Chains A and B, each alone.
Chain A
Amino acid sequence: MEADVMHAPAAEVGRSRTLLIGSALSAASVLMFFAGLFGVYISIRQNNEYLVENQLEGGRLWFPDLAVQIAPGTMMMFTTWISLFTMAWAVQAIRNDDRRNAYVAMGLTILMGAAVINQMVFAITDFGVPIDRSVPSLLLYTLYGAYIAFMAIAMIFVLLMGIRALAGQFDSTNADGIQAAAIIWFTAVIVYMPLWYLITITK
């Protein structure tokens, strides 16, 4: 059947929001992944607390005193916060067709990511929690390892979008790629906050 709707005025082919929506959905999935990790950590931590408080069998000392220092974790959080500004700077710059600023901002963002990974590796080597021995250390290193992996992915994504921007694919009329990179990057920053609170503060 040849439908009359086929003769109606043409709509714009392909909406520019596609990449943004896809990135937002990916970010939501990543958030749920970390929510799952955090949920298991909190649940086991809470159960352990109950067992220790009631002097029941199975309760154990979580992390030894001073095993997890506050400074490295907090520095990492400040670093991620700085990267919020550099990433937003990149988005704003590309919207203004200011490519030079956009490249500098994206480069700085990736640098901040590398700094976070560097600090995290330092923190891991500095932890007074022996790897391979107990459930708390298993949880701790899994959480940190997963975060390092996600941060690396976020850096690669920003780099990829930066290369596409260099190729001239993004400008003031279409900043989707850079905005998509920003969504993933902001997700990485958001994910770190509960990680910081759980490991560095409440331990």
Chain B
Amino acid sequence: MTATETHTDSHEESTDPSIDSAFTAFTSNDHKAIGRMWVGVSLLFLLIIATLAVVAGIERTDPGGIDVFGNLATYFQAWTLVRTGGIFMVAIPLMLGIGTAIVPLQVGARSIAFPRLAAASFWTWLMASGIHLASFLADGGLGPAAGTEKDGTLLTLVSLAAMVIALLGGALCIVTTIIAQRPEGMGLRDVPMLSWSMLVAGSVWLFSLPILLANLLFAFVDLQGRDPIFFGDADRIWANLEWAFMQPQLFVVAIPVLGIIGDVVPVATGSRLAGRGIIQTGIGLFGAMTFGAWAQHSFSRGADPAFPEGALLYEEFLFGLFSHLALLGAFIAIGGMLTPLRNGPKMSAALLGSVASALLLLLGLTIGALRTLNNVIGVLLSTSYTGDIDATGARIVAERKLLGLFEVSSDEVFNILHDNNTLLATNTAQFYVAVAAVIAGAAAAIAFWGPKLFGGYARNGAASGAAVTALAGGGLAGIAYTISAFMGQADISVTSVDGDVQFMNVLGLIGIALLLLSGLSMIGAVVGTSNADEVLPDDPWDGHTLEWATPSPPPVGNFIEPIGPITSAEPLLDELEEVG
């Protein structure tokens, strides 16, 4: 019996998915139980990370005046833990959990592909996440940090790599399920939107995160045996990993959100999703444009002052192009999916979460497009400049780039080109917006698929509260931190900032606190799941896709009877329309 086997014996699966005993939960390889564990644990991690983010946000309010952490090194440790934790302990696992539980039901599979691998992925991730947190307590981290323990840093690197490998394992199971375990007649164009978005997201994760592993390996090897000379150098570790936490790569976490919206809105409005192919293309374009491994520090010739400015400008142009195309893809997908809202839907927590996550995702991408707009325009305009694009040329180009958008001098723009620290501060804004989009999307998913996930209805008020606070918190943090970034706030520093920037940072802090509140509401929605001893209907919302053709909660093997040939993307809606 190995992890490569594709099916499990039924006696090893959960026999009563609605109420897992502790033993069943620990030993189960039933995808619904594994999905629940991913969701539950990542929500607990959300509370930890959000609390830390609030504390870091307090120092960020006025880094020169407020000293919560005692020194820059510890502040930076907390700052990086919020990033790594937010992406690899909260956002991706949350989406992976929903996908693990729901996707096999949507594609009519009796189990997830490689169920033991799916279980091993969860437990590996859980242990690695615990070690990751502990490594920071052991004075580890990702530098620069005078006084950081080398052993602690090694532990941080190893635990981060283990988390990534575990998440890749989980993604592999989901993508394989979608490709290989669909029933007869269900083409890829017919898979429900969550499954399609998980296919796109899983593929991007499988293709991009191994490159992060390569970066981690270089740093790990460099830290062996003697003082680091390059990749493990305190000033370079984070610089070489940063691409995974900034746009465009940052938004890989939010790809499944589009699928949640695409499944919730048509059901909420009782209408068929129009322009399915275009929406799928939009999700695909968005997914492809979030592949950001190319944007890493090691590949940047422009980052080295020895190189001509032309190289830097080319990279900036590419950066801007990807950002704008990602926004275009998301706009196409979201625009198509939200169109049925014109029919006046019945408001629910699921719909509220969907709309909130859509708005947040567009906000995050717009911040990215705004940040890089001058890159694209500037480089295009620079084509009319006939001289060599040396330092002087770059200055001319930079002046043209402004187009009156921002009141900064050419010297400052020149610094922007050379000092990523300034506009990189928008990364913080985008990070919180992306995580908030995931939280709102997860709130929608829990409210919508609660009967299948937990065997009961999620508490509607708590789920709605989570969606609203995620929208408010993500929106506030995103907008406030973007403004403070354009006003000159560095992403990480200990220098004082002026009053206006402080005010924006306070707003950002309030936004982060709202995200913490959103996490608490999410837990309330899950813990409050109830079936009140009533027999749940298979399809309480008149759903369109196959997961609603099985009892709530689904039995072992997911479906009581084998799924017959599928003839459309919304087989249950077809039947509803036939019945009239």
Note all chain A residues with C-beta closer than 8 A to B542: 1
Interface residues of A in 17-68 (CB under 8 A from B): 17-22, 25-26, 28-30, 32-37, 39-40, 43-44, 46-47, 50-51, 54, 56-58
Q: Are A40 and B298 in contact (CB under 8 A)?
A: yes
Q: Which of B174-182, B260-268, B278-286 lies on the face that meets chain A?
A: B174-182
Q: How big is the B interface, by class?
A: 35 or more
Note all chain A residues with C-beta closer than 8 A to B218: 37, 40, 138-139, 142
Q: Are B217 and A29 in contact (CB under 8 A)?
A: no
Note all chain B residues with C-beta closer than 8 A to A197: none
Q: Are B539 and A1 in contact (CB under 8 A)?
A: yes
Known contacts A32-B207, A40-B214, A142-B217; is A2 also within 8 Å of B562 by CB? Answer: no
Q: Are A11 and B571 in contact (CB under 8 A)?
A: no
Name the CB-closest residue of B to A30: B210
Among candidates B108, B301, B306, B537, residue contacting A1 with C-beta atoms closer than 8 Å: B537
How far is it, in angstroms, between the C-alpha of A26 and the C-alpha of B210 when the chains are bound? Answer: 10
B20 to chain A, nearest CB (A): 25
How far is it, in angstroms, between the C-alpha of A35 and the C-alpha of B291 when the chains are bound? Answer: 14
Chain B 151-174, CB-CB to A under 8 Å as 1, else 0, gives 000000000000000001000110
Q: Are A36 and B564 in contact (CB under 8 A)?
A: no
Known contacts A40-B218, A135-B230; is A10 also within 8 Å of B537 by CB? Answer: no
B21 on the A face (CB < 8 A): no
B208 on the A face (CB < 8 A): yes
Note all chain B residues with C-beta closer than 8 A to A29: 168, 172, 206-207, 209-210
Q: Are B176 and A18 in contact (CB under 8 A)?
A: yes
Q: Are B175 and A25 in contact (CB under 8 A)?
A: yes
Note all chain A residues with C-beta closer than 8 A to B404: none
Q: Are B176 and A25 in contact (CB under 8 A)?
A: yes
Q: Are A18 and B231 in contact (CB under 8 A)?
A: no
Q: Are B176 and A6 in contact (CB under 8 A)?
A: no
Among candidates A17, A50, A145, residue contacting B221 with C-beta atoms closer than 8 Å: A145
Q: Are A3 and B562 in contact (CB under 8 A)?
A: no
Note all chain A residues with C-beta closer than 8 A to B561: 6-7, 10
B538 on the A face (CB < 8 A): yes
B16 on the A face (CB < 8 A): no
Q: Are A22 and B548 in contact (CB under 8 A)?
A: no
Name the CB-closest residue of A to B299: A43
Q: Are A36 and B215 in contact (CB under 8 A)?
A: yes
Q: Are B221 and A14 in contact (CB under 8 A)?
A: no
Q: Are A15 and B181 in contact (CB under 8 A)?
A: yes
Q: Are A6 and B559 in contact (CB under 8 A)?
A: yes
A180 on the B face (CB < 8 A): yes
Interface of A is mostly: helix
Among candidates A8, A138, A146, residue contacting B231 with C-beta atoms closer than 8 Å: A138
How far is it, in angstroms, between the C-alpha of A9 and the C-alpha of B184 when the chains are bound? Answer: 10
Interface residues of A in 69-120 (CB under 8 A from B): none
Note all chain A residues with C-beta closer than 8 A to B298: 39-40, 43-44
B307 on the A face (CB < 8 A): yes
How far is it, in angstroms, between the C-alpha of A13 and the C-alpha of B214 when the chains are bound? Answer: 38
Q: Which of B2-10, B25-33, B127-135, B423-431 lies on the face that meets chain A?
A: B2-10
How far is it, in angstroms, between the C-alpha of A19 and the C-alpha of B179 when the chains are bound? Answer: 11
Note all chain B residues with C-beta closer than 8 A to A47: 301, 304, 307
How far is it, in angstroms, between the C-alpha of A177 and the C-alpha of B2 when the chains are bound? Answer: 12
Q: Are A14 and B206 in contact (CB under 8 A)?
A: no
Q: Are B229 and A135 in contact (CB under 8 A)?
A: yes
Note all chain B residues with C-beta closer than 8 A to A15: 180-181
Interface residues of B in 187-236 (CB under 8 A from A): 206-215, 217-218, 221-222, 225-226, 229-231
Note all chain A residues with C-beta closer than 8 A to B293: 32, 36
How far is it, in angstroms, between the C-alpha of A134 and the C-alpha of B230 when the chains are bound? Answer: 9
Known contacts A25-B172, A39-B298, A138-B222; is A18 also within 8 Å of B181 by CB? Answer: yes
How far is it, in angstroms, between the C-alpha of A152 and the C-alpha of B413 when the chains are bound? Answer: 51
How far is it, in angstroms, between the C-alpha of A39 and the C-alpha of B214 when the chains are bound? Answer: 10
A10 to chain B, nearest CB (A): 4
How far is it, in angstroms, between the C-alpha of A114 and the C-alpha of B565 when the chains are bound? Answer: 48
B41 on the A face (CB < 8 A): no
Chain B 95-111, CB-CB to A under 8 Å as 1, else 0, gives 00000000000001010
Note all chain A residues with C-beta closer than 8 A to B217: 37, 142, 146
Among candidates A8, A11, A22, residue contacting B113 with C-beta atoms closer than 8 Å: A22
Q: Are B564 and A7 in contact (CB under 8 A)?
A: yes
Name the CB-closest residue of A to B113: A18
Q: Are B183 and A11 in contact (CB under 8 A)?
A: yes
A92 to chain B, nearest CB (A): 21
B43 on the A face (CB < 8 A): no
Among candidates B215, B225, B537, B572, residue contacting A132 with C-beta atoms closer than 8 Å: B225
How far is it, in angstroms, between the C-alpha of A12 and the C-alpha of B218 when the chains are bound? Answer: 46
B338 on the A face (CB < 8 A): no
B420 to chain A, nearest CB (A): 17
Q: Are A1 and B221 in contact (CB under 8 A)?
A: no
Note all chain A residues with C-beta closer than 8 A to B212: 36
Name the CB-closest residue of A to B173: A22
How far is it, in angstroms, between the C-alpha of A145 and the C-alpha of B222 when the chains are bound? Answer: 13
B198 to chain A, nearest CB (A): 13
Note all chain B residues with C-beta closer than 8 A to A153: none
Note all chain A residues with C-beta closer than 8 A to B559: 6
How far is it, in angstroms, between the C-alpha of A20 and the C-alpha of B113 when the chains are bound? Answer: 11
Known contacts A1-B549, A21-B176, A51-B306; is A11 also within 8 Å of B211 by CB? Answer: no
B26 to chain A, nearest CB (A): 25
How far is it, in angstroms, between the C-alpha of A175 and the C-alpha of B213 when the chains are bound? Answer: 32
Name the CB-closest residue of A to B214: A36
B566 on the A face (CB < 8 A): yes
Interface residues of A in 114-170 (CB under 8 A from B): 132, 134-135, 138-139, 141-142, 145-146, 160, 164
26 contacts between A and B (CB under 8 A): A2-B538, A3-B571, A5-B563, A5-B564, A5-B571, A6-B559, A9-B564, A10-B562, A11-B565, A18-B180, A18-B181, A21-B179, A22-B114, A25-B176, A25-B206, A35-B211, A36-B214, A39-B214, A40-B218, A40-B298, A132-B225, A135-B229, A138-B229, A142-B217, A164-B2, A180-B4
6 closest A-B pairs by CB: A8-B564, A36-B214, A36-B211, A10-B562, A33-B210, A11-B184
Besides A21-B176, A28-B207, 19 new A-B residue pairs in contact (Cβ under 8 A), listed by A number:
A3-B549, A3-B572, A9-B564, A9-B565, A13-B562, A18-B180, A18-B181, A25-B172, A28-B206, A29-B207, A30-B210, A32-B210, A33-B210, A36-B212, A39-B298, A40-B299, A132-B226, A138-B229, A139-B218
Residues of A within 8 A of B (CB): 1-15, 17-22, 25-26, 28-30, 32-37, 39-40, 43-44, 46-47, 50-51, 54, 56-58, 132, 134-135, 138-139, 141-142, 145-146, 160, 164, 177, 180
Residues of B within 8 A of A (CB): 2, 4, 6-7, 108, 110, 113-114, 168, 172-173, 175-176, 179-181, 183-184, 206-215, 217-218, 221-222, 225-226, 229-231, 293, 298-299, 301, 304, 306-307, 537-539, 542, 546, 548-549, 559-566, 571-572, 575
